[in-house]
């Protein structure tokens, strides 16, 4: 499924989109107004995709999460989604104080374009362990009104080496559920894939991230 996304979203697109996300964030932090979307970019990226923008602050050789907001489902055009969530990742992530303009000199941007979430059908919960692949799948856990999402890169980033059970447990906790809620028959679990672009340095080289 992710191959279909990769055929439509190239590294050149990733470069354009991350540069726009940075311009949008920095324009807002400087002026309290969003950047203007150029007509050619609005037209080119009119297809609907789920997308997340992640801000990571550099600390020596380490990266610290500074904000991450997105849309799991393809409800907006790609450029409109990035237009919205790039600002939200900087000033609306409730886990962190607002990012400052000065901080952007030490922040790298990561952009994840998602495939549509797919409900994982199982007869009993242990089947999840066979139907999820670390490094390929992101997860959404849903139980009643509670919902939590972790991107495909989370189990392997920053020296993590999670197995599938650990990934499920952390996604449950992200939804403010007990870590074993994935065993509950009333809990729904979705998986999705993502194509990931990232800055290696602030305003520097942008690559297609392999996980």
Report the alpha-carbon distance of residue 156 to residue 145 in Å, rounded.
Answer: 28
The DSSP result for 196-211, as a single string, is EEEESSTTS-EEEPP-
Confidence grade of residue 59 (pLDDT, cut at 50, 70, 90): confident
CATH number at 23 reads 3.30.700.20
- Are residues 140 and 106 part of one domain? no
The CATH code of the domain that includes 161 is 3.30.1490.150
What are the tens digits of pLDDT across the range 64-77? 999 999 999 999 99
- Model confidence over 134-184: pLDDT tens digits? 999 999 999 999 999 999 999 998 888 999 999 999 999 999 999 999 999
Shared domain check, 123 and 27: no
Q: Which residue has the tokens 């409800």?
A: 75
pLDDT grade for 15, boundaries at 50, 70 and 90 = very high
For the cut 70, the answer to whether the pLDDT of residue 1 exceeds it is no
Confidence (pTM): 0.89
Domain check: are 51 and 98 in the same one? yes
Q: What's the pLDDT score for residue 5?
A: 61
What token pair was written down for 149? 């999402």
pLDDT band at 210 (very low <50, low <70, confident <90, very high): confident
Q: Based on the fold, state whether residues 76 and 15 are members of the same structural domain.
A: yes
- CB proximity list for 49: less than 8 A, separation 6 or greater: 5, 9, 74, 78, 81, 113, 114
* Confidence (pLDDT) at 141: 98
Output Rg (C-alpha) for the chain, integer angstroms: 17
Contacts by residues 135-139 (CB-CB < 8 Å, ≥ 24 positions apart) = 135/211, 136/2, 136/193, 137/191, 137/192, 137/193, 138/114, 138/191, 138/192, 138/193, 138/194, 139/167, 139/168, 139/171, 139/189, 139/190, 139/191
| pLDDT higher than threshold 90 for residue 94 | yes
Parent domain of 87: 2-115+194-208
Cα 172 to its chain centre, rounded Å, is: 17
Q: Is 40 left (phi over 0), alpha (psi -120 to 50) or beta?
A: alpha
> What's the structural domain count of the chain?
2
CA pair distance 125, 42, nearest whole angstrom:
43
How sure is the predictor about 126, in pLDDT bands with cuts at 50, 70 and 90?
very high
- Shared domain for 163 and 137, answered yes or no, is yes
| Shared domain check, 146 and 176 | yes
């Amino acid at each position: 499924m992710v191959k279909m996304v990769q055929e439509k979203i190239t590294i050149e697109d990733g470069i354009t989109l991350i540069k726009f996300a940075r311009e949008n964030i920095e324009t807002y932090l400087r002026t309290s107004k969003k950047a203007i979307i150029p007509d050619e970019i609005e037209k080119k990226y009119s297809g609907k995709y789920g997308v997340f923008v992640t801000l990571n602050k550099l600390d020596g050789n380490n990266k610290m999460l500074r904000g991450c907001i997105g849309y799991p489902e393809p409800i907006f055009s790609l450029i409109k989604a990035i237009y919205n969530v790039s600002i939200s990742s900087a000033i609306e992530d409730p886990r962190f104080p607002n990012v400052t303009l000065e901080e952007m000199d030490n922040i790298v941007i990561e952009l994840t374009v998602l495939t549509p979430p797919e409900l994982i059908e199982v007869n009993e919960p242990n089947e999840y362990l066979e139907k999820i692949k670390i490094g390929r799948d992101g997860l959404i856990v849903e139980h009643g009104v509670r919902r939590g999402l972790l991107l495909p890169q989370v189990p392997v980033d920053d020296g993590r080496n999670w197995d599938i059970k650990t990934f499920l447990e952390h996604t449950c906790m992200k939804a403010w559920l007990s870590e074993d809620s994935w065993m509950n028959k009333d809990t729904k679990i979705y998986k999705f894939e993502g194509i990931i672009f990232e800055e290696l340095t602030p305003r520097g080289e942008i690559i297609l991230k392999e996980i």
